[in-house]
Copies of this chain bind each other. A is one copy, B any other.
Amino acid sequence: MFLDQKYLFTPGPTPVPARVNAAMAAPMIGHRSPDFSVLIEDVATRLMPVFGTRHPVITLTSSGTSALEAAVVNTVSEGEHAVAIVAGSFGDRLATIAETYGIHVHRLNIEWGKSCTPDQLESFLKTMDKPIKAVFATFNETSTGVLNPIHELGKVVAEQSDALFLVDGVSCIGGVSVDMTADHIDLLVTSSQKALMLPPGLAFAAFSDRGLEAIRKATAKRFYLDLNRYVQAYEEQKSTPFTPAVSLIAGAQEVCAMFEEEGFANVVRRHYLLRDMIRAGIRALGLPLLTSDEDASPTVTAICSGAVEASVLQKALKKNYSITVAGGQKQLKGKIFRIGHMGYCTPFDILKVLSALEIELVRQGEVNHLGVAVQKAEEVWLKHV
């Protein structure tokens, strides 16, 4: 519409800061050079507080799905039993990957748009009559905008079973607080293009002592995604087992600097502020939210069809305001649209998408007054200024 500006509000990929792009454009270095060892050690250790882990964070050159697959193949073997919490399409994907490897997956199906409660998990675990090797959980269900109560779920797993607790943190790590020890998480994986403010292309894995031990003992067939190889290459040579995406890792180093400058606790607070602002604004427009306040994700918000179809609003945002949001997936296709607000996102960005929505709804005659959504969101922000 105006200039070449495109506003990206999908729940990944997310906007990449100019300084991260600049860092990625630095002269290439050899991935078997001492310079790279310095780089990978720096990133592995500076990411530790972001993942809430006591071990250096492992970097894979691959996408988020590979991280989920790595979580499976490095912990559970063919014929073993696992529980998968499925509350959306990414929970489903994790379960499907495990099934592909011949693992007996017991699905705890949760209504899409709701979180899994500790009680639901506890009851489900109690029905299991086989030893459960692992419980798979989606920290933040991108398809519905639900943040699962991972701390409470981890506690249930630890108290009710000997299972490993394996967590898909793809669309929230970098935007939420996590403590792998206190939360009883054994393996936590994510990818680069969400709250970590990087382009797609990297996956990360962090583990507990117990998770690390499980990886070392795992017997499933794997090669590129064998986390043990990554741990060994890191421990012995501050290196990677296979050619890494060097420039993306240089970008990750700059992201660490940005987290440290803002203060990671402030980064997390900002994401909750963005969530509260967008929910207040969406409510003011009379659009239905898919999730309850209790279950609402700090990184992505799902909005249902109301007076205007979700898909119609999604298209109008693109056409008239150059704003890209995401539609629904699978059973929610055509029924919701999703606004990502993670990573390189500020309160002004939330006001931007709310302004576009309210102008469009007034234009379509569905809302009477301009400014109503922005006003409510500004009220939320005002309390934080």
Contact = CB atoms under 8 A, between A and B. Distances in A.
Nearest to A358: B378
Nearest to A379: B370
Q: How many copies does the complex hold?
A: 2
A385 interface: yes
Interface stretch (A2-10, A152-160, A172-180): A2-10
Contacts of A29: none
Interface in A144-190: none
Nearest to A5: B346
Contacts of A356: 348
Most chain B Cβ neighbours within 10 Å, of A261, A355, A375: A355
Name the prevailing secondary structure of the A interface residues.
Answer: helix
A54 to B, nearest CB: 27
Contacts of A370: 374-375, 378-379, 382
Contacts of A378: 355, 358-359, 362, 370-371, 374
A173 B25 CA distance: 33
A270 B17 contact: no
Contacts of A4: 17, 19, 258, 261-262
Interface residues of A, number: 41
A363 interface: yes
Given A372-B371, A378-B370, A320 B355 contact: no
A369 interface: yes
A25 B4 CA distance: 19
Interface in A329-385: 344, 346-348, 351-352, 355-356, 358-360, 362-363, 369-372, 374-376, 378-379, 381-382, 385
Given A25-B25, A351-B352, A346 B2 contact: yes
Contacts of A369: 375
A18 interface: yes
